[in-house]
Amino acid sequence: MCGWRRQTDLTPSPLLRQETRLRREGARYAIIAPMITKRQLGYLFIAIGLLISAGAIGANLIGGRDAGFGPFQIIGIGAGVVIILMAIPLIKLGNRPA
Amino acid sequence: MKPETVQRVGRWLLYFTVAVFVLYLIIYVVYAAALFQFPYDYDQGEGFELNDSLLFLQGQWPYRSNEVFPFYASNYPPLFHWLVMPLFAIFGPTLTAGRVLSFVVTLLIACLVGRVVYTQTRHKPIAAISGLMVLASNFIYHVGPLYRQHMTMVLFELLAVIFSARYADPKRGKWFIFLSLAMLLAAGYTKQLSVATVAAVLFFLFLRAPRKAILAGFGLALAAGSIFFLIDAATQGQWFINTMTANANAYDYRQALDLYRQFFTLHFFTAALAIGYSFYQLYWDRLSVYTIWFGFTLINSALAGKWGAGESYFATAIVASCILSGFAVVKLKEALAIKQPRTALIVSFAIPLLYLAQAYSLRHLPTEGPVFGPLADLIGVGRGASVYAGYPYYDSLGYTQVGHLPTAEDTAAGDRIVSMIKATGKPVLSEEALLALRADQPVVTNPTQLLNLWNNQALDPTELIASIDRQDYGLVVLRAQFYPPPVLQAIGARYEPIDDILMNGFQYRILAPRADYGAGCDEARFYGSISQLNAIAPQGFFRVLDRDTTPIGWSGPPGVSELEYRAGDTDVSRGPYYRLWIAPLNWQGQPPADESGAKRLGQNACFQFFDKIEDTDFAWPTARPDVLKTFEIEP
C-alpha cells in the first residue's frame, strides 16, 4: 500500500511533465533562441544597415582609390540609412515574433 | 446604387479582368507556337544552351578549356540541359525541345502561383488573376518560351518556397524542409542567380526556427559544395573558370536602374501591393516566406546591371509579387468588410479597375491578323504597329528585340546562311550555334564567354587567333561582334565581308577568307607565331607577359611584346626558363652596354626577335636554335 502510494507520489503529473519538457527544450535552445523577435530583427537590420553604410564609405580605402564619392557609394549609404530607419519601429515592437 | 448592385458589378468586373488576362495567356501561346517553328537562335545564346545539352548527350562536359579547339565552354550549371535531353526523343536535337520545356515550366509556375494564392485566400478570381499575371508580364512573356534555363530556375525556386512555408507541419515538417532544400539545390544547379532564394528560405527558417535553419544551411552547403567540387575535379578546374570567373562581368548601375524603372512602371499595381503587404507583415504581422522571398529577389534583381544581364533577372521578383499582390488584395477586402463596409464596397469596385489598369500597362500583342489586327485597333495601339524592325508587334515597353513572331522569311534567311556554310565544307566561326549545328559542323567558340574571360584576364586567345591566321574556317558569321578585341582584329585581317543577311531583325555579316592580305604582319600573325612556338616547345607553353615594353636592358620606345616560357612550371617566384621579345620591324632601340640584357636574334619578314636564356639546360637546351629555325630568323 505504502509502496503503491510512494510510487504514485513519484509519478510526475502531466503539468510537471510538460514543465520538464519545456526546461529540457529551454536547455537545448539556451544558445539558439526558439524564434526571432521583432526587436531582434530590428537589431539585425541596424547591423546590416551599418555594414552597408560602412562598406560604402570605406570602399575607397579598401579599393585603394581616391576618386571621391561615386554613385555606388551614394546608393550604398542611402540604402544603409533606409534600413536603419526601418529598424527603429521594429525595435519598439518588442518580443512579438518576427 | 444599392450595395448589392455595387457588389455584383464589382464581381462582374473581376470576371472581365480574368478574361483580359486569359487573352494574355492566348497571346503567350501564340508567341510560343511561333518560336517552336523557328529553328534558329531567336535570343542570342539559345543555340549554345542546345549545344550544352548535345555535349552532355555525348557524355562530355561543356566546362572545358576555351583555349583549345573548339574554343567552346558553357557558363551555366547543367541541370536545365539535362532536363531537356529526354525531350530530344520527341522533338529531335532542336531548339524546340528546350523551348517547349521552358513554355510548360512557365505554365506550371502560373498554376502554382494561382494555387498558392487560392490556398491562402480561397478567392478563385483573385487566385486566377495572380497566376495569369505571371504570363501577362512583358518580362516573362519575352523569355518564357526560350531555350534558356531562367524560368526552370524560377520553378525550382517557387517550389522551394512553397515547401519551406510548410516547415511547421506537425507530421511532415522535416520532410518539407528537406524537399525545400532539394529544390534550392536544383535551382542553384540550374542557374547561379537563385542564390537570393537560398538566402530568403534560410532567413525565413532562421526567423521561425533558428536551429532548423542552421542545420538546413549546413546541410545545403555540404550538398552544394560537394557537387561543386566533384564537377570541378571532373573538369580539371574548368567548371570554376567557366561558371564563376566568366560570370564576373562589368556592372553598370544605370542599366540596373533603368530595368527597375521598367519593372515598376509595367507592374505598378502588383509591385505596389506586394511592397505594401511586405510592410504590413513587417510591422503588423509575421513575415511569411513569400514576403521575405519577394524582398530578397527584388534586391537581387539589381544584378540586372551586369553586362549581359537583362529583364529576365526580374522574373523571380515578378512571380513573388504576383503571389503577394493576391494575398494583399484579399486581405484588404476582408479587413475592410469588417471594419468599413462602405469603403469595402468601393474597394471591391476599384480592385478590378486597378487590375485592368495594370493589364493596360502591360499591353503587348501582335498587331496583324484577323484577331490581333482589330484588337490592336480596339486598344488604341493601331493595326500593324511595330516596336522592332518592322515586325507587327507592339510592346508597351517600347523597343525590344524579343516578343515579335519570327516569320518564314527569317527561317529562309537562316537556311541561306547554312547553305553557304555547307558549301565551304569547313568549320564556321559563328556567333550563333544553330548556324553551325544545322550545317553539320562543330560549334566553334562561345563569343560572350570568350569576351568575359578576356575581360577578366583569364583567356589566352593564342590558338584561336592562330587558327584564324591560318584561315581554318570556311566562313565567319558575325551578328553582334561579341568576340574579344584581338579576335575581332584577327578576323578583320584574314576574312572579308561577302554578304549581309537579315534574319529576325539582325544583320548577319558573312565573311570569307581573304585571298590577298599582303605580308600579314599583324595581330593575327603575332598570335600565330606564339602558336608556332608552343608547337615546338617540348613541354609547357609560352605566355604573353606584356604587350608594350622593351627587351630587357634595351632602351627605346615601348611597343615590344614580351613572352615567357616556363615548361609547365607555374611557380612565378622562380622566373621563366626562357624569354622572347617580338618587336615590329620598325622598332629601334639601344642595346645594353654590357650585353647583360636581351640578345637580338635578328628578324624575319614580319618581326624582330630578342631573347634571353635564363635556364634552358634542363627544360629545353635547344631553345634558341629552334626559335631561329622556326621563324627563319636572319641577322
Q: CB A36 to CB B206 under 8 A?
A: yes
> Based on the domain organization, do A28 and A41 belong to the same domain?
no
CA distance A92 to chain B (A): 10
What is the distance, to the nearest Å, from the Cα of residue A67 to the centroid of all Cα atoms in its chain? 37
Amino acid B616: pLDDT: 66
pLDDT: which is higher, B151 or B8: B151
Phi, psi of B250 (to 5 degrees): -65, 145
* Residue B620 pLDDT grade (very low, low, confident, very high; cuts 50, 70, 90): confident
Same domain, A40 and A85: yes
* Containing structural domain, residue A2: 1-32
State the number of CA atoms in the 13 A half-sphere of B245 facing the CB: 21
Query: Which three three-digit cell numbers place residue B463?
Result: 590558338
Q: What are the chain B neighbours of A72 within 8 Å (beta carbons)?
A: 253
Residue whose grid cell is 560570370 = B247
Q: Is residue B419 part of a domain?
A: yes
Q: Answer yes or no: do A53 and A97 share one domain.
A: yes
Whole-angstrom distance, CA of residue B432 vs CA of residue B446: 8
Asked whether the beta carbons of residue B283 and residue A34 sit closer than 8 angstroms, the reply is no
> Is there a domain that residue B347 lies in?
yes
The verdict on B261 and B171 lying in the same domain is: yes
Q: Closest partner residue to A98 among B207, B214, B253, by Cβ?
A: B207
B248: enclosing H helix or E strand: none
CA distance B211 to chain A (A): 6
What percent of chain B is predicted at pLDDT more than 70? 99
Q: Are residues A8 and A56 in the same domain?
A: no
pLDDT tens for residues B323-367?
Answer: 999 999 999 999 998 888 888 888 988 999 999 999 999 999 999
Neighbours of A61 (CB within 10 A): 9
* B156 and B281 housed in the same domain: yes
The distance of B32 to chain A (nearest Cα, Å) reads: 39
- Confirm whether B327 is domain-assigned: yes
pLDDT higher than 50, residue A9 = no
Q: Which residue of B has its CA nearest to A36?
A: B207
Q: Are residues A62 and A93 in the same domain?
A: yes
- Average pLDDT over chain A, rounded to an integer: 75
Q: Which residue of A has its CA nearest to B215?
A: A32
The answer to whether residues B302 and B381 belong to one domain is no
Question: Torsions phi, psi of A87, nearest 5?
Answer: -75, -30
| B171 and B85 together in one domain | yes
Q: How far is CA B363 from CA B47, B89, B113, B375, B381, in A?
A: 29, 37, 21, 11, 9
Q: How does the average pLDDT of chain B come out, rounded?
A: 95
- Whether residue B235 contacts residue B64, with contact meaning beta carbons closer than 8 Å, is answered with yes
Judged by CB atoms closer than 8 Å, whether chains meet at A33 and B208 is answered as no
Chain B residues whose C-beta is within 8 A of a chain A C-beta are 206-211, 214, 253, 282-283, 286-287
pLDDT tens-digit profile of A12-26? 555 555 555 555 555
Q: Given pLDDT bands bounded at 50, 70 and 90, which one contains residue A8?
A: very low
Total structural domains within chain B: 4
The answer on B544 and B468 residing in a single domain is no
B442 and B293 in a single domain? The answer is no
Alpha carbons B196 and B200: distance in angstroms, whole number: 6
Say what the ipTM of the complex is. Answer: 0.83
CA distance B341 to B352: 18
Top-confidence residue, B7 or B104: B104
Do A48 and A88 share a domain, yes or no? yes
Q: For residue B539, what pLDDT is reported?
A: 86
Q: Are residues A76 and A98 in the same domain?
A: yes
Distance (Å) of CA B159 to CA B169, B170, B176, B225? 16, 20, 10, 21
Which of B202, B205, B207 to substitute to test the interface with A, most A CBs within 10 Å?
A: B207
For residue A46, give the 3-state DSSP assignment.
Answer: helix
| ω into B392 cis (within 30 of 0) | no
Of the pLDDT bands very low, low, confident and very high (cuts 50, 70, 90), residue A63 is low
CB within 8 Å of B554: residues ≥ 6 apart? B589, B590, B591, B592, B597, B598, B610
Q: Taking each helix axis from N to C terminus, what angle separates B523-536 and B623-630, rounded to the nearest 10 degrees?
A: 140
**Which chain A residues are Cβ-neighbours of B283 within 8 angstroms?**
89-90, 93
Residue A36 pLDDT greater than 50, yes or no? yes
Using CA coordinates, name the residue in chain A closest to B207.
A36
What is residue B1's predicted lDDT score, i.e. its pLDDT? 73
User: B223 and B255, same structural domain?
Assistant: yes
Residues B217 and B263 in one domain: yes
Q: Do B163 and B302 reside in the same domain of the chain?
A: yes
Matching residue, cell 511532415: B172
pLDDT (mean) for B610-630: 88
Encode pLDDT of B125-150 as tens digits: 999 999 999 999 999 999 999 999 99
Judgement on whether residues B439 and B357 belong to the same structural domain of the protein: no
- Asked if B339 and B378 sit in the same domain, the reply is no
Q: Is A50 found in the same domain as A8?
A: no
- Domain of residue B622 covers 537-630
Nearest Cα residue in chain A from B214: A32
Residue B132 domain-assigned (yes or no): yes
pLDDT tens string B251-285: 999 999 999 999 999 999 999 999 999 999 999 99
Q: Taking CB atoms and an 8 Å limit, are A35 and B211 in contact across chains?
A: no
Give the count of beta carbons closer than 10 Å to the beta carbon of residue B20: 20
Tell me, yes or no, whether A27 and A41 share the same domain. Answer: no
User: Domains in chain A: how many in total?
Assistant: 2
| pLDDT at A72 (0 to 100) | 83
Would the pLDDT of A5 be above 50?
Answer: no
Q: How far apart, in Å, are the Cα atoms of B482 and each of B388, B448, B454?
A: 21, 6, 11
Residues of B in contact with A92 (CB under 8 A): none
Q: How far apart are CA B583 and CA B601, in angstroms?
A: 11
Residue B230 has pLDDT above 50, yes or no: yes
pLDDT, one tens digit per residue, over B7-34 is 889 899 999 999 999 999 999 999 999 9
Q: Which helix (H) or strand (E) holds B615?
A: none
Are B554 and B610 contained in the same domain?
A: yes
Residues A4 and A51 both lie in one domain: no
Q: Are residues A28 and A40 in the same domain?
A: no
User: Across chain A, how many H-helices and E-strands are there?
Assistant: 4, 0
Asked if residue B523 belongs to a domain, the reply is: no
Among B362, B353, B365, B350, smallest CA distance to B321 is for B362
Say if residue B218's pLDDT is above 50: yes
Write out the three cell numbers for B361: 500597362
| Angle at the Cα of B383 from the Cα atoms of B381 and B389, rounded to 5 degrees | 85
Question: A97: distance to nearest CA of chain B, Å?
Answer: 7
Does A98 share its domain with A78?
yes
Could you tell me the pLDDT band of residue B286, with boundaries at 50, 70 and 90?
Answer: very high
